[in-house]
Structure formats: C-alpha cells, structure tokens
Amino acid sequence: MVAIEIGILVFLIILNGFLALSELAIVSSRRSRLEAMSRQGNVGATKALELLAEPGRFLSAVQVGITLVGIVAGAFSGATIAERGDALLESFGVRTSLAEPLSYVIVVALITYLSVIVGELIPKQMALQNRERIAAFVATPMQLFARVLNPLITVLDFSARIGLGLLGIKEQAGETVTDEEIKALIAQAERSGSVKPQERAMIAGVMRLADRSVRAVMTPRTAIEWIDLDESPEKLRVMIPQSKRSHLIAVEGGPDHPMGVIMVWEVLSAMVDGKDIELRRFLHRVPVINERMGAVEAFSHLKDSPVDLVFVADEHGTFEGILTTGDIVRTVVAEIIENDDTKPIVAKRRDSSYLIDGLLPIDELIERLSLTIPAERDYHTAAGFVLHELRRLPKVGDVLRYGDWQIEVVDLDGTRIDKLLATRRVRRRRGA
C-alpha cells in the first residue's frame, strides 16, 4: 500500500515536470525552426505552431495542470504519507507530540526537493537544450490536454485578457525580432562553429546595407572618370586606350550634365575595325535615382539599367555620383576584403581610444562606439556627423563631446575631415 502511495506521488511530480518541460520548450522555440520542421512533414511541429498561435490558451492549460498537480500532491502527501511517517517515527521511540510535526516537516521537505529537481530544474534544462524537437514531441499530448480543459481555459484566458487590458498592455500581433537579437544569434552561431567568421561578416554586411541610403554606398562624382561627347576623334584615339575603366561617364559641356555611359570595349572594337568612333553612337542611357533611396531598393533600378549602373542625383536634380553593383557588393563584403587601401579604417589604440577615418560609414561608427544617434539624419559618415554637431567648418584640434565619448579632429584634407580620435570620457564623481 505504501509503495502505491509513493508511486502516485512520484507520478504527480513527473507529471509536473512534463508540464514544465512542455511550457518552456514550446514558448522558447524559434518559430522559423518549427516552420522548417513542419514543411519537412513533422506533424508535431505543426501542432506546436498551432499552440504558439494562441499562447494565452496554451499557458492557461499549463498553469491549470501545474496548479492541479500541486494541490493533489500537497493534499495526498499530507493525508497519507505524512500520517504513515508519523507512525514510523513513533515506532522508533519518538514521542507522539513530536512525531506528528516532525513527520510533516520531513515529508514536505523531501517532496519539495523532488518537485524542484525532478519537477522543474531537470525538465527545464532539457527543454532549453533541444527546444524545437521537444516542442514537437509534447505538442500532441498538450493539445489533447487543452481540449479536455477547454471550458476552464476559456474562462482563464478571457480573464487574463481583461487583466492585461486594465493594465494598458496590448496583445502583440506577432513575433518580432530586433537587429540586436539577430546579431547576437549570429555571434552565438559563430562561437559554436555553425557559422564561419567570413559568413558572419557577410551577414553583418547585408544588414548594414539594408540600413544605408544610396548616397552612403555610391561612388561620388569626384571619383568618376568622364568624357565629353563633343571630343574630337583624334583626342578620343589617345584617351580611350589609356583609360583604366570599363566604362566612362559621357557628359555634354561638363560633369553637371551627364548624358549616359560609354562602354570602353565597344569604342576600342570600333577603333580596331577602323569604324567611326563618334561617341553618341555608343551612348547608353541609364536610370537616375535619388540619393535618399534605400540601397536595397536601388537593386531594381540597377536591374533595369543596360550597363549595370545608375546615376545618382539629389532632390534638386544635381548629379552627385553613380551606383554600381560593385558598390553594393563592396559594402556587403567590406569586413572580409583584405589589403583594401580604399576602405575607411577604425583602429583601436593601446589606450582604448579609436583612430577613425572621416569616411567611416555612420552606422559602423554607431556600432563601434555604441552611440545613440537619431535615425533621421542627413549625413552618412563619421566626418558628416562631426560637421553636423559642430555646425561650422572644422579646425584641427576641435573637440566634440557626445555621450560617453570625446571626439577630436586630428587631421584635415583641405576642409574635409580626414582623421578623428575618439576617447572615452572620464566622468568625475560629485564631491570628488
């Protein structure tokens, strides 16, 4: 008889552990992983997704189950096992007045210990180690359990919604994932070896690209090689073979009036064949996009261009530069390009300060220094950020104090900020 009673109590503790296991496994599972398992034909994953679709009802079912198990286990241990423990202690010579409370203390302590270890800690650690597979395994019995308790669960779920409404908490329409969570997940995957460092760098590059405008990744007009459509054939025969570019920007009267793109190989072929090399015959018209357009959105315009290139203009229609597929790819793979002298640098020095290239993209500066900068901004580089804050032309030695950092202008190229030095500020304590 004692064995049966102990067996019932052990069963209740294991049942509590199963409910705790199910709750944590399903709630903490990655929806994307469950969806992938469901597409592969895993029925349990499909049912786990159904439970996640109504988390309030699922949590109500789990809570009802855990509460009922706790009540039954408490009543059962007090009414049966504790009484038998009382008689056992008396048989060892313990006084009756002391045996009864001592028996309750021992039984409660033992059951509490087993409930915490077997009914909570072990199941939850198991759930965290293999969330999606366990969620798929427990989803079917948990669905059946929820259907049995459906009337009670409906009342509890409705009551919980009312309580959340009174507290002013709105129910979220769906699962959201922040950039920080994605970066943390990728970093964890890199540490575990699932993602290689180069893959992590490329994923980070894609995320940076999504946050940048066309102006932040384009080739500015000052770095472009152009040719006038009205150049004489004699001069063209000298200029074209000397060009190191695959294409030249064709202008009419100056760089403020770009007309299209000339492919160098087409002109060279005509020269070899002895054909007329009047440039307008080789002119390719290209789309024009606004500099504020998102870099990812610009892909569709690049696809429509006959030469994989688009012109970039400001809101007044002034020509500002060009955007190519190479500019976008270079942004994505920037971290893994070795020996690239054109890449803006940020170097950490021995005193934990940073020497920063003025052309460093602002999103990389924000990430490196953990700065809080408004999302709506008209600048795209570290130099632009300093100019915006100084509100005047800079001089060597100018210092900007922003957040926890002191940013000093240490080198100029004409009026352009070439190098910055960022040093963490030491805040003095009051009264010191």
Please state the pTM of the whole predicted model. 0.54
Tokens 């290689």, located at residue? 196
Which segment, 44-48, 151-155, 184-188, is predicted with the most confidence on average?
44-48
422 pLDDT band, cuts 50/70/90, is: very high
**Nearest by Cα to 135 from 25, 35, 58, 56:** 25
Give me the residue spans of the domains in the chain: 2-166, 179-210, 214-334, 344-424
Report pLDDT digits (tens) over 266-319. 888 888 887 877 888 888 999 999 988 888 888 888 888 888 899 999 888 889
Q: How confident is the model at residue 339 (pLDDT cuts 50, 70, 90)?
A: very low
CB atoms within 10 A of CB 22: 26
Q: Tokens at residue 305, please?
A: 């261009």
State residue 81's pLDDT score. Answer: 62
**Dist CA 317 CA 330 (whole Å):** 26
Give the pLDDT band of residue 432 (cuts 50, 70, 90).
very low
Residue with tokens 């293999």: 130
| pLDDT over 60 at 76, yes or no | yes
Which of 373, 359, 340, 377 has its CA nearest to residue 420?
A: 359
Q: Which CATH class is domain 344-424?
A: alpha beta
pLDDT for residue 313:
92
CATH number at 214-334: 3.10.580.10
pLDDT of residue 171: 59
359 in Cβ contact with 340 (< 8 Å): no
Phi-psi label, residue 370: left if phi above 0, alpha if psi -120 to 50, beta otherwise: left
Q: Which residue has the higher pLDDT, 79 or 97?
A: 97
Average pLDDT over residues 126-153: 86
Report the mean per-residue pLDDT for the chain: 81
Q: In whole angstroms, give the CA distance from residue 212 to residue 332.
A: 11
Residue burial 352-364, b: 16+ Cβ < 10 Å; e: rest: ebbebbbbbbbbb
pLDDT digits (tens, 9 = 90+) for 227-259: 888 888 778 888 888 887 888 888 887 888 899
At residue 371, the pLDDT reads 86
Mean pLDDT of 167-193: 70
Give the mean pLDDT of 135-149.
Answer: 86
The answer to whether 417 and 387 are in contact (CB under 8 A) is: yes
State the distance between the two ends of the chain, measured CA to CA, in whole angstroms: 74
- From CA 353, how far away is CA 355, in angstroms rounded? 7
Positive or negative, the CA dihedral 235, 240, 245, 248 is positive
User: Do 214-334 and 344-424 show the same overall fold?
Assistant: no
Q: Is the pLDDT of residue 430 over 60?
A: no
Residue 170: pLDDT band with limits 50, 70, 90: low
Q: According to the model, what pLDDT value does residue 407 have?
A: 92
pLDDT digits (tens, 9 = 90+) for 46-68: 888 888 887 777 887 888 888 88
pLDDT over threshold 90, residue 84: no
% of the chain with per-residue pLDDT over 70: 86
